Structure 1
Amino acid sequence: MSIKVVSFDVFGTVVDWFSTIEREARALNLPVPADQFALTWRQGYLTAITRVLSGEAPWALIDDIHYQILEEMLARFGIDDLDEDRKRHLNLAWHRLDPWPDSSAALYRLKSRFNTCTLSNGNLSLLEDLARHGDLPWSDVLSAETFGTFKPDPKVYLGAAETFQVKPEQVLMVATHQEDLEAARAAGLRTAYVKRPLEYGPTGPAKQFSEDHDFLAEDMLDLAEQLGC
Protein backbone atom coordinates (compact mmCIF):
# COMPACT_ATOMS: atom_id res chain seq x y z
CA MET A 1 0.00 0.00 0.00
CA SER A 2 1.37 3.39 -0.99
CA ILE A 3 -0.23 5.24 1.92
CA LYS A 4 2.34 6.32 4.48
CA VAL A 5 0.43 8.92 6.50
CA VAL A 6 -3.17 8.92 7.72
CA SER A 7 -4.28 12.46 8.58
CA PHE A 8 -7.53 13.36 10.29
CA ASP A 9 -10.01 16.11 10.50
CA VAL A 10 -10.86 16.27 14.21
CA PHE A 11 -14.11 18.16 14.96
CA GLY A 12 -16.93 15.79 14.08
CA THR A 13 -14.67 13.10 12.66
CA VAL A 14 -12.68 12.07 15.73
CA VAL A 15 -14.49 13.94 18.51
CA ASP A 16 -18.20 14.49 19.17
CA TRP A 17 -18.40 18.27 19.50
CA PHE A 18 -22.19 18.44 19.63
CA SER A 19 -22.80 16.24 22.68
CA THR A 20 -20.06 17.89 24.72
CA ILE A 21 -21.06 21.49 23.95
CA GLU A 22 -24.73 20.69 24.49
CA ARG A 23 -23.92 19.12 27.88
CA GLU A 24 -21.81 22.08 28.99
CA ALA A 25 -24.49 24.56 27.90
CA ARG A 26 -27.17 22.59 29.74
CA ALA A 27 -25.07 22.53 32.92
CA LEU A 28 -25.06 26.34 32.96
CA ASN A 29 -28.88 26.48 32.76
CA LEU A 30 -28.71 28.97 29.92
CA PRO A 31 -32.06 30.46 28.82
CA VAL A 32 -31.77 28.88 25.37
CA PRO A 33 -32.12 25.25 24.29
CA ALA A 34 -28.75 23.58 24.71
CA ASP A 35 -28.88 21.92 21.31
CA GLN A 36 -29.59 25.26 19.63
CA PHE A 37 -26.70 26.82 21.54
CA ALA A 38 -24.29 24.11 20.34
CA LEU A 39 -25.40 24.28 16.71
CA THR A 40 -25.27 28.08 16.65
CA TRP A 41 -21.74 28.11 18.04
CA ARG A 42 -20.55 25.63 15.45
CA GLN A 43 -22.20 27.53 12.60
CA GLY A 44 -20.51 30.70 13.82
CA TYR A 45 -17.16 28.96 13.57
CA LEU A 46 -17.81 27.89 9.97
CA THR A 47 -18.83 31.43 9.04
CA ALA A 48 -15.75 32.90 10.73
CA ILE A 49 -13.39 30.56 8.86
CA THR A 50 -14.94 31.61 5.56
CA ARG A 51 -14.42 35.27 6.42
CA VAL A 52 -10.75 34.71 7.26
CA LEU A 53 -10.08 32.78 4.05
CA SER A 54 -11.81 35.48 1.97
CA GLY A 55 -9.68 38.20 3.57
CA GLU A 56 -12.66 39.83 5.30
CA ALA A 57 -11.25 39.03 8.75
CA PRO A 58 -7.67 38.67 10.04
CA TRP A 59 -6.08 35.35 10.94
CA ALA A 60 -6.75 34.27 14.52
CA LEU A 61 -6.46 31.14 16.63
CA ILE A 62 -9.60 29.04 16.86
CA ASP A 63 -9.72 29.62 20.62
CA ASP A 64 -9.99 33.36 19.97
CA ILE A 65 -12.54 32.85 17.19
CA HIS A 66 -14.63 30.62 19.45
CA TYR A 67 -14.54 33.26 22.20
CA GLN A 68 -15.61 36.04 19.85
CA ILE A 69 -18.52 33.92 18.63
CA LEU A 70 -19.45 33.11 22.23
CA GLU A 71 -19.59 36.81 23.12
CA GLU A 72 -21.82 37.46 20.10
CA MET A 73 -24.10 34.56 21.02
CA LEU A 74 -24.48 35.65 24.62
CA ALA A 75 -25.51 39.12 23.45
CA ARG A 76 -27.92 37.68 20.86
CA PHE A 77 -29.60 35.40 23.39
CA GLY A 78 -29.70 38.09 26.09
CA ILE A 79 -27.41 36.22 28.47
CA ASP A 80 -25.60 38.72 30.68
CA ASP A 81 -25.04 36.83 33.93
CA LEU A 82 -21.88 34.87 33.01
CA ASP A 83 -18.76 36.39 34.55
CA GLU A 84 -15.44 36.34 32.74
CA ASP A 85 -14.20 33.17 34.46
CA ARG A 86 -17.30 31.20 33.50
CA LYS A 87 -17.14 32.47 29.93
CA ARG A 88 -13.51 31.43 29.66
CA HIS A 89 -14.31 28.02 31.14
CA LEU A 90 -17.19 27.54 28.71
CA ASN A 91 -14.98 28.56 25.78
CA LEU A 92 -12.46 25.90 26.79
CA ALA A 93 -15.19 23.26 26.46
CA TRP A 94 -13.78 22.85 22.95
CA HIS A 95 -10.62 21.50 24.64
CA ARG A 96 -12.73 18.90 26.49
CA LEU A 97 -14.68 17.38 23.61
CA ASP A 98 -15.27 13.66 24.08
CA PRO A 99 -14.09 11.32 21.32
CA TRP A 100 -16.48 9.09 19.45
CA PRO A 101 -16.47 5.62 21.11
CA ASP A 102 -14.43 4.04 18.30
CA SER A 103 -11.80 6.77 17.88
CA SER A 104 -9.14 5.88 20.44
CA ALA A 105 -9.01 2.15 19.70
CA ALA A 106 -8.95 2.79 15.95
CA LEU A 107 -6.09 5.27 16.25
CA TYR A 108 -3.99 2.80 18.24
CA ARG A 109 -4.52 0.24 15.49
CA LEU A 110 -3.75 2.68 12.69
CA LYS A 111 -0.64 4.01 14.42
CA SER A 112 0.79 0.49 14.50
CA ARG A 113 1.14 0.64 10.72
CA PHE A 114 1.05 4.30 9.64
CA ASN A 115 2.12 7.71 10.77
CA THR A 116 -1.05 9.39 12.04
CA CYS A 117 -1.71 13.07 12.58
CA THR A 118 -4.36 15.66 13.14
CA LEU A 119 -4.97 17.98 10.21
CA SER A 120 -7.42 20.36 11.79
CA ASN A 121 -8.30 24.03 11.96
CA GLY A 122 -8.07 23.78 15.74
CA ASN A 123 -5.04 25.42 17.33
CA LEU A 124 -2.21 23.30 18.66
CA SER A 125 -2.96 23.65 22.37
CA LEU A 126 -6.59 22.69 21.74
CA LEU A 127 -5.63 19.59 19.76
CA GLU A 128 -3.06 18.53 22.34
CA ASP A 129 -5.66 18.87 25.11
CA LEU A 130 -8.12 16.77 23.09
CA ALA A 131 -5.45 14.11 22.62
CA ARG A 132 -4.90 13.87 26.38
CA HIS A 133 -8.59 14.03 27.21
CA GLY A 134 -9.61 11.35 24.73
CA ASP A 135 -6.51 9.11 24.70
CA LEU A 136 -5.86 9.88 21.04
CA PRO A 137 -2.37 8.56 20.25
CA TRP A 138 -1.23 10.74 17.34
CA SER A 139 2.20 10.37 15.77
CA ASP A 140 2.15 14.15 15.30
CA VAL A 141 -0.21 17.05 15.90
CA LEU A 142 -0.59 19.32 12.87
CA SER A 143 -2.88 22.29 12.76
CA ALA A 144 -3.87 25.22 10.61
CA GLU A 145 -1.74 27.11 13.13
CA THR A 146 1.25 25.09 11.88
CA PHE A 147 0.76 26.39 8.34
CA GLY A 148 -0.69 29.84 9.01
CA THR A 149 -3.94 29.23 7.13
CA PHE A 150 -7.16 27.29 7.46
CA LYS A 151 -8.51 24.36 5.53
CA PRO A 152 -9.56 24.15 2.74
CA ASP A 153 -6.44 26.08 1.71
CA PRO A 154 -4.27 23.52 -0.16
CA LYS A 155 -1.26 24.66 1.88
CA VAL A 156 -2.64 22.71 4.83
CA TYR A 157 -2.99 19.42 2.96
CA LEU A 158 0.33 19.76 1.15
CA GLY A 159 1.92 20.78 4.45
CA ALA A 160 1.11 17.37 5.89
CA ALA A 161 2.98 15.67 3.04
CA GLU A 162 5.92 18.03 3.45
CA THR A 163 6.05 17.45 7.21
CA PHE A 164 6.40 13.70 6.77
CA GLN A 165 8.51 14.05 3.59
CA VAL A 166 6.17 11.96 1.45
CA LYS A 167 4.27 12.59 -1.77
CA PRO A 168 0.73 14.01 -1.48
CA GLU A 169 -0.75 10.77 -2.84
CA GLN A 170 0.89 8.93 0.06
CA VAL A 171 -1.26 10.89 2.54
CA LEU A 172 -4.79 9.73 3.29
CA MET A 173 -7.13 12.46 4.50
CA VAL A 174 -9.88 11.15 6.77
CA ALA A 175 -12.96 13.29 7.43
CA THR A 176 -16.71 13.27 7.76
CA HIS A 177 -17.04 16.48 5.75
CA GLN A 178 -17.35 16.29 2.00
CA GLU A 179 -15.89 19.75 1.33
CA ASP A 180 -12.78 18.92 3.37
CA LEU A 181 -12.19 15.74 1.39
CA GLU A 182 -12.81 17.42 -1.94
CA ALA A 183 -10.16 20.02 -1.14
CA ALA A 184 -7.73 17.33 -0.01
CA ARG A 185 -8.29 15.36 -3.19
CA ALA A 186 -7.73 18.50 -5.29
CA ALA A 187 -4.38 18.88 -3.52
CA GLY A 188 -3.42 15.33 -4.51
CA LEU A 189 -4.23 13.44 -1.32
CA ARG A 190 -6.22 10.23 -1.11
CA THR A 191 -9.47 10.44 0.80
CA ALA A 192 -11.58 8.44 3.26
CA TYR A 193 -15.10 9.40 4.28
CA VAL A 194 -16.15 8.32 7.78
CA LYS A 195 -19.88 8.40 8.42
CA ARG A 196 -20.87 10.36 11.52
CA PRO A 197 -24.66 10.61 11.18
CA LEU A 198 -25.05 12.09 14.68
CA GLU A 199 -22.47 14.86 14.28
CA TYR A 200 -25.20 17.51 14.56
CA GLY A 201 -27.16 15.64 17.21
CA PRO A 202 -30.17 13.31 16.99
CA THR A 203 -32.48 16.06 15.71
CA GLY A 204 -29.92 18.00 13.70
CA PRO A 205 -29.79 18.32 9.92
CA ALA A 206 -29.19 15.17 7.91
CA LYS A 207 -25.67 14.80 6.56
CA GLN A 208 -24.93 14.20 2.90
CA PHE A 209 -21.99 12.07 1.88
CA SER A 210 -20.42 10.92 -1.35
CA GLU A 211 -19.04 7.49 -2.16
CA ASP A 212 -16.53 9.10 -4.53
CA HIS A 213 -13.55 8.43 -2.24
CA ASP A 214 -10.81 5.85 -1.89
CA PHE A 215 -12.46 4.55 1.28
CA LEU A 216 -15.95 4.81 2.72
CA ALA A 217 -16.17 3.71 6.36
CA GLU A 218 -18.97 3.25 8.85
CA ASP A 219 -16.62 4.42 11.62
CA MET A 220 -12.90 4.59 12.32
CA LEU A 221 -12.64 0.95 13.37
CA ASP A 222 -14.10 0.01 10.00
CA LEU A 223 -11.49 2.22 8.33
CA ALA A 224 -8.69 0.56 10.33
CA GLU A 225 -9.97 -2.82 9.18
CA GLN A 226 -10.02 -1.70 5.55
CA LEU A 227 -6.45 -0.44 5.90
CA GLY A 228 -5.26 -3.79 7.25
CA CYS A 229 -4.83 -2.73 10.87
Structure 2
Amino acid sequence: MIRFKTLMIGLLMSMSLMSTVAHSQDSTSSQQIKPKVIFFDVNETLLDLGNVGKSVSEALGGRDELVPYWFTTMLHYSLVGNVTGEYNSFAEIGIASLEMIANQQNIKLTPEEARTAVLTPFRDLAPHKDVVEGLKKLRAMGYTMITLTNSSDAGIAAQLKNSNLAQYFDGSLTVQNLKTFKPDLKVYEWAQKEMNVAPEDAMLIAAHAWDLAGADKAGWKTAFIMRPGKALYPLAAKPDLIGRDLIEIANQLEASAK
Protein backbone atom coordinates (compact mmCIF):
# COMPACT_ATOMS: atom_id res chain seq x y z
CA MET A 1 0.00 0.00 0.00
CA ILE A 2 2.83 2.36 0.90
CA ARG A 3 4.54 1.54 -2.42
CA PHE A 4 1.29 2.31 -4.30
CA LYS A 5 0.95 5.68 -2.57
CA THR A 6 4.57 6.50 -3.38
CA LEU A 7 3.97 5.71 -7.05
CA MET A 8 0.82 7.86 -7.10
CA ILE A 9 2.62 10.81 -5.51
CA GLY A 10 5.44 10.49 -8.03
CA LEU A 11 2.94 10.35 -10.91
CA LEU A 12 1.08 13.41 -9.67
CA MET A 13 4.33 15.34 -9.28
CA SER A 14 5.37 14.38 -12.84
CA MET A 15 1.99 15.46 -14.21
CA SER A 16 2.27 18.78 -12.36
CA LEU A 17 5.76 19.34 -13.77
CA MET A 18 4.58 18.52 -17.30
CA SER A 19 1.70 20.96 -16.90
CA THR A 20 4.09 23.69 -15.78
CA VAL A 21 6.38 23.09 -18.75
CA ALA A 22 3.45 23.06 -21.16
CA HIS A 23 2.14 26.30 -19.71
CA SER A 24 5.59 27.85 -20.04
CA GLN A 25 5.78 26.76 -23.69
CA ASP A 26 2.30 28.18 -24.36
CA SER A 27 3.31 31.47 -22.80
CA THR A 28 6.44 31.63 -24.96
CA SER A 29 4.49 30.85 -28.13
CA SER A 30 1.92 33.52 -27.30
CA GLN A 31 4.50 36.28 -26.85
CA GLN A 32 3.95 39.28 -29.05
CA ILE A 33 6.09 39.32 -32.18
CA LYS A 34 6.08 42.71 -33.85
CA PRO A 35 9.37 43.61 -35.57
CA LYS A 36 10.04 47.11 -36.77
CA VAL A 37 11.83 45.94 -39.91
CA ILE A 38 11.25 42.73 -41.84
CA PHE A 39 14.13 41.54 -43.99
CA PHE A 40 13.45 39.10 -46.81
CA ASP A 41 15.60 36.53 -48.50
CA VAL A 42 14.67 36.53 -52.19
CA ASN A 43 15.74 33.48 -54.21
CA GLU A 44 13.41 30.55 -53.43
CA THR A 45 11.81 32.50 -50.58
CA LEU A 46 10.00 35.01 -52.81
CA LEU A 47 11.03 34.02 -56.33
CA ASP A 48 10.48 30.63 -57.93
CA LEU A 49 13.78 29.20 -59.21
CA GLY A 50 12.02 26.79 -61.54
CA ASN A 51 13.31 28.54 -64.67
CA VAL A 52 16.87 28.46 -63.33
CA GLY A 53 16.57 24.77 -62.56
CA LYS A 54 15.30 24.05 -66.04
CA SER A 55 18.09 26.06 -67.65
CA VAL A 56 20.80 24.41 -65.52
CA SER A 57 19.36 20.97 -66.24
CA GLU A 58 19.45 21.62 -69.99
CA ALA A 59 23.07 22.80 -69.71
CA LEU A 60 23.89 19.53 -67.94
CA GLY A 61 22.37 17.38 -70.66
CA GLY A 62 18.91 17.10 -69.13
CA ARG A 63 20.23 15.72 -65.82
CA ASP A 64 17.51 17.05 -63.49
CA GLU A 65 19.02 15.22 -60.52
CA LEU A 66 22.12 17.43 -60.75
CA VAL A 67 20.25 20.71 -60.23
CA PRO A 68 20.04 20.49 -56.38
CA TYR A 69 23.72 19.48 -56.38
CA TRP A 70 24.54 22.58 -58.41
CA PHE A 71 22.71 24.86 -55.98
CA THR A 72 24.34 23.34 -52.89
CA THR A 73 27.74 23.54 -54.63
CA MET A 74 27.13 27.23 -55.24
CA LEU A 75 26.30 27.77 -51.55
CA HIS A 76 29.27 25.66 -50.52
CA TYR A 77 31.77 27.74 -52.45
CA SER A 78 30.23 31.01 -51.32
CA LEU A 79 31.14 29.90 -47.79
CA VAL A 80 34.60 28.84 -48.96
CA GLY A 81 34.98 32.43 -50.15
CA ASN A 82 33.89 33.69 -46.72
CA VAL A 83 36.52 31.60 -44.97
CA THR A 84 39.36 32.32 -47.37
CA GLY A 85 38.54 35.99 -47.92
CA GLU A 86 38.25 35.52 -51.68
CA TYR A 87 35.05 37.25 -52.81
CA ASN A 88 33.31 36.58 -56.11
CA SER A 89 29.72 37.51 -56.86
CA PHE A 90 27.03 34.92 -56.29
CA ALA A 91 26.41 34.80 -60.04
CA GLU A 92 30.09 34.16 -60.74
CA ILE A 93 30.13 31.36 -58.18
CA GLY A 94 26.99 29.90 -59.76
CA ILE A 95 28.60 29.88 -63.19
CA ALA A 96 31.84 28.38 -61.87
CA SER A 97 29.88 25.71 -59.95
CA LEU A 98 28.03 24.75 -63.13
CA GLU A 99 31.30 24.41 -65.03
CA MET A 100 32.71 22.36 -62.16
CA ILE A 101 29.80 19.89 -62.15
CA ALA A 102 29.90 19.58 -65.94
CA ASN A 103 33.58 18.64 -65.68
CA GLN A 104 32.84 16.12 -62.91
CA GLN A 105 30.14 14.48 -65.01
CA ASN A 106 32.07 14.63 -68.31
CA ILE A 107 29.44 16.90 -69.85
CA LYS A 108 30.62 19.26 -72.57
CA LEU A 109 29.89 22.84 -71.54
CA THR A 110 31.74 26.00 -72.57
CA PRO A 111 32.22 28.93 -70.17
CA GLU A 112 29.91 31.00 -72.39
CA GLU A 113 27.18 28.34 -72.24
CA ALA A 114 27.51 28.11 -68.46
CA ARG A 115 27.24 31.87 -68.13
CA THR A 116 24.11 32.03 -70.29
CA ALA A 117 22.52 29.09 -68.46
CA VAL A 118 22.83 30.85 -65.09
CA LEU A 119 22.53 34.58 -65.74
CA THR A 120 19.67 34.65 -68.23
CA PRO A 121 17.02 32.94 -66.06
CA PHE A 122 18.28 34.32 -62.73
CA ARG A 123 17.44 37.88 -63.73
CA ASP A 124 13.87 37.04 -64.79
CA LEU A 125 12.12 34.95 -62.16
CA ALA A 126 8.43 34.87 -61.28
CA PRO A 127 7.26 35.19 -57.67
CA HIS A 128 5.67 32.24 -55.93
CA LYS A 129 1.86 32.38 -56.15
CA ASP A 130 1.42 33.42 -52.50
CA VAL A 131 4.01 36.20 -52.50
CA VAL A 132 2.11 39.20 -53.83
CA GLU A 133 -0.84 38.66 -51.49
CA GLY A 134 1.51 38.08 -48.56
CA LEU A 135 3.52 41.22 -49.29
CA LYS A 136 0.36 43.31 -49.67
CA LYS A 137 -0.88 42.08 -46.31
CA LEU A 138 2.42 42.89 -44.58
CA ARG A 139 2.56 46.29 -46.28
CA ALA A 140 -0.96 47.06 -45.05
CA MET A 141 0.19 46.18 -41.51
CA GLY A 142 2.73 49.00 -41.72
CA TYR A 143 5.99 47.07 -41.67
CA THR A 144 9.20 48.43 -43.15
CA MET A 145 10.26 45.76 -45.64
CA ILE A 146 13.79 45.28 -46.99
CA THR A 147 15.33 42.59 -49.19
CA LEU A 148 18.59 41.14 -47.88
CA THR A 149 20.27 38.86 -50.40
CA ASN A 150 23.47 37.17 -51.49
CA SER A 151 22.91 38.69 -54.93
CA SER A 152 24.60 41.78 -56.33
CA ASP A 153 23.02 45.24 -56.32
CA ALA A 154 22.37 45.02 -60.07
CA GLY A 155 21.07 41.47 -59.75
CA ILE A 156 18.41 42.20 -57.13
CA ALA A 157 17.36 45.39 -58.91
CA ALA A 158 16.71 43.40 -62.09
CA GLN A 159 14.92 40.63 -60.21
CA LEU A 160 12.55 42.97 -58.36
CA LYS A 161 11.83 44.96 -61.50
CA ASN A 162 11.17 41.94 -63.71
CA SER A 163 9.02 40.22 -61.07
CA ASN A 164 7.10 43.46 -60.41
CA LEU A 165 7.84 43.23 -56.68
CA ALA A 166 9.90 46.42 -56.24
CA GLN A 167 6.78 48.39 -55.28
CA TYR A 168 6.39 46.43 -52.05
CA PHE A 169 9.83 47.14 -50.60
CA ASP A 170 11.38 50.11 -48.89
CA GLY A 171 14.87 49.20 -50.02
CA SER A 172 17.35 46.45 -50.86
CA LEU A 173 20.58 45.42 -49.18
CA THR A 174 23.07 43.01 -50.72
CA VAL A 175 26.26 41.35 -49.60
CA GLN A 176 28.10 43.11 -52.42
CA ASN A 177 28.68 45.95 -49.99
CA LEU A 178 30.50 43.68 -47.50
CA LYS A 179 31.97 41.10 -49.88
CA THR A 180 30.92 38.26 -47.62
CA PHE A 181 27.84 36.05 -47.84
CA LYS A 182 25.04 35.14 -45.50
CA PRO A 183 25.00 33.48 -43.01
CA ASP A 184 28.09 35.39 -41.91
CA LEU A 185 26.90 37.28 -38.82
CA LYS A 186 28.53 40.43 -40.15
CA VAL A 187 25.84 40.62 -42.85
CA TYR A 188 22.95 40.73 -40.35
CA GLU A 189 24.77 43.13 -38.05
CA TRP A 190 25.51 45.44 -40.96
CA ALA A 191 21.91 45.27 -42.22
CA GLN A 192 20.41 46.22 -38.85
CA LYS A 193 22.80 49.16 -38.57
CA GLU A 194 21.88 50.30 -42.07
CA MET A 195 18.22 50.31 -41.05
CA ASN A 196 18.95 51.76 -37.58
CA VAL A 197 17.11 48.96 -35.84
CA ALA A 198 17.98 46.89 -32.77
CA PRO A 199 18.47 43.13 -33.27
CA GLU A 200 15.33 42.26 -31.33
CA ASP A 201 13.30 44.55 -33.61
CA ALA A 202 14.48 42.86 -36.82
CA MET A 203 13.01 39.77 -38.46
CA LEU A 204 14.20 37.62 -41.35
CA ILE A 205 11.74 35.71 -43.51
CA ALA A 206 13.44 32.95 -45.50
CA ALA A 207 13.01 29.48 -46.94
CA HIS A 208 16.57 28.50 -46.01
CA ALA A 209 17.44 27.03 -42.62
CA TRP A 210 21.07 28.19 -42.91
CA ASP A 211 19.96 31.80 -43.42
CA LEU A 212 17.61 31.69 -40.45
CA ALA A 213 20.35 30.16 -38.29
CA GLY A 214 22.54 33.18 -38.99
CA ALA A 215 19.76 35.67 -38.29
CA ASP A 216 18.87 33.91 -35.04
CA LYS A 217 22.48 34.04 -33.83
CA ALA A 218 22.48 37.77 -34.64
CA GLY A 219 19.54 38.18 -32.24
CA TRP A 220 16.79 38.58 -34.86
CA LYS A 221 13.31 37.13 -34.93
CA THR A 222 12.94 34.51 -37.67
CA ALA A 223 10.18 33.11 -39.88
CA PHE A 224 10.52 29.98 -42.00
CA ILE A 225 8.54 29.46 -45.22
CA MET A 226 8.27 25.73 -45.90
CA ARG A 227 8.80 25.78 -49.65
CA PRO A 228 8.71 22.30 -51.27
CA GLY A 229 11.89 20.39 -50.55
CA LYS A 230 12.95 22.70 -47.70
CA ALA A 231 13.40 21.61 -44.09
CA LEU A 232 14.65 23.02 -40.83
CA TYR A 233 18.10 22.17 -39.48
CA PRO A 234 17.50 20.10 -36.30
CA LEU A 235 20.58 21.49 -34.51
CA ALA A 236 19.54 25.13 -34.95
CA ALA A 237 17.03 27.08 -32.87
CA LYS A 238 13.41 26.76 -33.94
CA PRO A 239 12.14 29.81 -35.87
CA ASP A 240 9.66 32.11 -34.18
CA LEU A 241 7.16 31.55 -36.97
CA ILE A 242 6.70 28.67 -39.44
CA GLY A 243 4.27 28.72 -42.36
CA ARG A 244 3.62 26.95 -45.63
CA ASP A 245 3.73 30.25 -47.49
CA LEU A 246 4.08 34.00 -46.98
CA ILE A 247 0.35 34.46 -46.41
CA GLU A 248 0.47 32.13 -43.40
CA ILE A 249 3.48 34.01 -42.01
CA ALA A 250 1.65 37.34 -42.46
CA ASN A 251 -1.44 35.94 -40.72
CA GLN A 252 0.66 34.74 -37.79
CA LEU A 253 2.36 38.11 -37.48
CA GLU A 254 -1.01 39.85 -37.52
CA ALA A 255 -2.36 37.54 -34.80
CA SER A 256 0.77 37.91 -32.68
CA ALA A 257 0.76 41.70 -32.85
CA LYS A 258 -2.71 41.97 -31.33
Taking structure 2 as the reference length, the TM-score comes to: 0.75
2:159 is matched with: 130
Structure 1 regions of 5+ residues with no counterpart?
200-206
Q: Which has the higher helix share?
A: 2
SS in structure 2 of the partner of residue 54 of structure 1:
helix
1:218, distance to aligned residue in structure 2 (A): 1.8
1:62 is matched with: 90
2:61 is matched with: 31
Q: Does 1:91 align with 2:125?
A: no
Structure 2 regions of 5+ residues with no counterpart?
1-32
Cα–Cα, structure 1 residues 51 and 37, in superposed 2: closer, same or farther, change >3 Å?
same
Cα–Cα, structure 1 residues 67 and 171, in superposed 2: closer, same or farther, change >3 Å?
same
1:5, distance to aligned residue in structure 2 (A): 0.7
Q: Does 1:22 align with 2:53?
A: yes
- For 1:154, the aligned partner's letter is L
Taking structure 1 as the reference length, the TM-score comes to: 0.84
Could you tell me whether the CA contact under 8 Å between 1:104 and 1:135 is conserved in 2? Answer: no
- For 1:134, the aligned partner's letter is S
Q: Does 1:192 align with 2:220?
A: no
2:72 to 10, 18, 43: 43
Cα–Cα, structure 1 residues 81 and 50, in superposed 2: closer, same or farther, change >3 Å?
closer
2:206 to 171, 175, 182: 175
User: Any idea what the Cα deviations from partners look like across 1:71-98, whole Å, max 9, x if unmatched?
Assistant: 22232333336572x4332121222233
User: Any idea what the Cα deviations from partners look like across 1:122-163, whole Å, max 9, x if unmatched?
Assistant: 222221222122222321111111232111111111122111
Query: How many percent of aligned residue pairs carry the same amino acid?
Result: 26
1:117 is matched with: 146
Cα–Cα, structure 1 residues 159 and 21, in superposed 2: closer, same or farther, change >3 Å?
same
Structure whose alpha-carbon radius of gyration is higher: 2
1:202 is matched with: none
SS in structure 1 of the partner of residue 54 of structure 2:
helix
CA distance in 1, matches of 2:202, 2:251: 18
- When the two chains are superposed, the root-mean-square deviation of aligned CA atoms in Å is 2.4
Could you tell me whether the CA contact under 8 Å between 2:102 and 2:109 is conserved in 1? Answer: no
Q: Does 1:5 align with 2:47?
A: no
- For 1:94, the aligned partner's letter is F
